[in-house]
A = this chain, B = another copy of it.
Amino acid sequence: MFRPDRLAILAEGKLGLLTSKTAAVIIRYRPEQVACVIDSTRSGRTVGDVLGFGGTIPVVGSLEEAMKTAPDSLLMGIAPRGGALPPEWRRTVLSAIDNRLNVISGLHTLLGDDPEIAARARRSDVEIWDIRKPVIPEDVAQGRLRDKHGLVVLTVGSDCRSGKMTVAYELTRSLNDKGVDAEFVPTGQTGILLAGWGAVVDRLPGDFMSRVVEDLTVEALSRSAVAVVEGQGSLLHPAYSGVTLALMHGCYADAMILCHQPGKDEIEGYGISIPPLNGLKEIYEKACKPVFPSRVVAVALNTYELDEDAAAAAVAQAESEMGLPATDVVRFGCDRILEAIKEML
């Protein structure tokens, strides 16, 4: 896989914290690699103005304008439900290729398998990096982590987009800052872009998901004392719960961090109630138990929709409800969670 230096991020009509998750995360953690964002509905503004971070990175209205910021690659900045390439984006991808940009995509639809896109990429001598392209192992999970050395921490959530990737990534950085030898284990496209390794677990054939998680975790523990595994989906979400459980049973987590957006009480569009935090804790611990006992040791709230006071109140409320440390890792840092993890070392 190539390492892009200057990304033009395509987020047409969708630049936002939740509507273009991949874009937002890369901008947050790798702003120096972002040349511009393409979103004609917000063109002329800065990313900092739209997202609240990302500073003076320009939002431009077209690929033509983007080329003036000297990008070397086009990153598909969204992960739409279902993952297909929106038809109106095809033209932009093709014209990026014609402008000699590499293309990085986490869409389910593999761009490298698209005859037109692949042919143009060959002609322009650029690379297509399909982050979701599955590499299928030769056997299923073996439970090799049962007697592991080292600690495995997994982020789990009440729903999709509850902050599992960000919490795992921030927690790893904080552990490293405190001198703990920890490694982030990416299981989705955005995490892979950040860390430069990993596997998109939800794109693997069902039978091999937990094996790949096992392999990634074994690899991380061969280098580091703590593996912080990025969780996916939610046990409550009927579309993704299988992926979530495969991750849980693949990594043999010793500890889970429960991620939740306060105020959210339903899986949107499915009419499924999200139980209170203690109920979620029980659901996750019970689902682990037959394979490997695991405990929810902390709560990570995603309070970006709340003001500072309401966020602090939500954190305090979660702590008293759960009798566990809670925080918003972006807003208040990881210290409270670190304590819980360090106790287990």
Contact = CB atoms under 8 A, between A and B. Distances in A.
Interface in A191-235: 201-207, 209-211, 235
A77 interface: no
Interface stretch (A26-34, A135-143, A172-180): A135-143
Interface in A218-258: 235-236, 238-247, 249-250, 252
A143 B238 contact: yes
Interface stretch (A88-96, A268-276, A320-328, A331-339): A268-276
A207 to B, nearest CB: 4
Contacts of A210: 238-242
A239 B250 CA distance: 7
B243 A206 contact: yes
A83 interface: yes
Contact of A206 (B236, B242, B283): B242
A249 B287 CA distance: 14
A249 B291 CA distance: 20
A30 to B, nearest CB: 25
Contact of A207 (B140, B142, B239, B269): B239
Contact of A138 (B82, B134, B207): B82
A84 interface: yes
Nearest to A145: B238
A269 B140 CA distance: 12
A260 interface: no
Contacts of A236: 290-291
A342 interface: no
A146 interface: yes
A81 B203 CA distance: 20
Contacts of A246: 206, 241-243
B205 A202 contact: yes
A224 to B, nearest CB: 22
A286 interface: yes
A249 B238 contact: yes
A108 interface: yes
7 contacts: A108-B205, A202-B206, A204-B205, A210-B241, A241-B291, A242-B247, A283-B290
Sorted nearest first, the 8 A-B pairs with minimum C-beta distance are A242-B246, A140-B239, A82-B139, A141-B239, A238-B249, A206-B243, A202-B207, A242-B242
